[in-house]
Amino acid sequence: MKKTTVIATGVAVIAALTGCAANEVATDQSTPPPASASHTATRLTGTIDAGGSSAQTAAHEAWRAGFQASQPEVTVNYDPTGSGTGRQNFTDGGYVLAGTDEPLAIDHVAGPFAACAPGSALVEIPAYVSAIAIGFNLDGVASLTLDATLIARIFSGEITRWNDPAIVAANPQVGLPDLGITAIHRSDKSGTTHNFTDYLAQAAGSAWPYPVAQTWPSQLSGEAAEKTQGVRQAIIATPGAIGYLDASQAQGMGSVVVGAGEKAVAHSAQAAAAAVGASPLEQGRSTTDVVVALNRTLTDGQSYPIVLVSYLVACGTYADPDVGQLVKSYLGHVVSEAGQQEAAKHAGSSPITADPTLSGLVAKAVAGIH
């Protein structure tokens, strides 16, 4: 008898647990969509399986929430598996939408992609633009001015102490301690490392003879840390540490004001957007394949050159039209002013809508999805 009671209680608890979450109120089809649903006339149902760049995760949380407010029956999943896996799964058909920190190579855009209809165009849009901050841990120092050459010499291990004459000369106002520099880099493959090394290669000239890659040059020493949070923890825990990480995560540490030419620029959403706006589009791509060729040598005093541009890759024509409608609707929200502002607020990114030309091209590419 006692055993039966125990089992009954267990069943009751599980039944209670498997009910809906309080914030997931079951909706029925007849309810009219809320008035705020401006970009979608029809109510959609279904699941979008997306994944890839982990840099976009927080932004997708914001986009998903905003999108689901007007489309409560659509579930959007975003796996932060990394850009390479995202592109691979998009090719295989595992994802119908992929996030990637590196655009697809030009000779790969023709496909074939499993989720796309045969002969479909590829849609590739810069959805997430974010500054990469160079954070450091020096007691009482909130900001330092360093130019590309100095940054390259620090990260290549050539400058090993904070009171090195070259750093002191660039920061005469700051009292720099006699402390060793611990340069921290990412141990895993990362779009952040790719953009950081690309910046050094473009802007530091001969001071950075190393390759531009997603993995940190193996010939260099320094401390390795896993993922953005690893770098963040390492900087916070190590006096004298310096490392590069997404600007939204560089809280509670000093950050570098990057010198370019005669001027120096601190990282901000506006300065990152300015760098993207001042860069040309990559040539030789179709009108729906919008890829920015970042120019990291601008000296206008407004552009912050260490910028990560992360793309979303989708089909122009989906094999399944229902999926096409879901993706089009979601991407429509992602690139809208509201969507970009949500991401800016929640993930600290810089809205692409700041640049009307670019966002016009992107909106046109998304509008063509079916």
Chain residues that interact with other proteins, rule: CB under 8 A = 2-3, 6, 14, 17-18, 20-24, 47, 49, 54, 57-58, 61-62, 64-66, 68-69, 75, 77, 79-80, 89, 92-95, 114, 227-229, 248-249, 251, 342, 345-348
Running DSSP on this structure, what letter comes out for residue 251? T
* Closer CB to other proteins, 254 or 259, in the complex: 254
Based on CB atoms, which residue is closest to other proteins, 74 or 257? 74
Output 230 or 305, the one with its CB closest to other proteins. 230
The two three-digit tokens of residue 107, written as one number: 């000779």
Shortest Cβ distance from residue 154 to other proteins (Å)?
26
Comparing CB distances to other proteins, the nearer of 232 and 296 is: 232
Cis before 112? omega within 30: yes
Query: What is the rounded distance in angstroms from the CA atom of residue 77 to the CA atom of residue 100?
Result: 15
> Which residues have a Cβ under 8 Å from the Cβ of 356 and sit 6 or more positions away?
none
Report how far apart the first and last C-alpha atoms of the chain are (Å, whole number): 61
Neighbours of 43 (CB within 10 A): 17
CB of 58 to other proteins, least distance (A): 4
Cα 9 to Cα 21, 22, 100, 167: the distances in Å are 20, 22, 48, 68
Report the chain's C-alpha Rg in angstroms. 23
| Cβ closest to other proteins, residue 290 vs residue 354 | 354
Eight-class DSSP state of 281: B
Cα angle value 183/187/191 (rounded, 5°): 95
Q: What angle do CA 173, 178, 181 make, to 5 degrees?
A: 95
209 or 252: CB nearest other proteins: 252
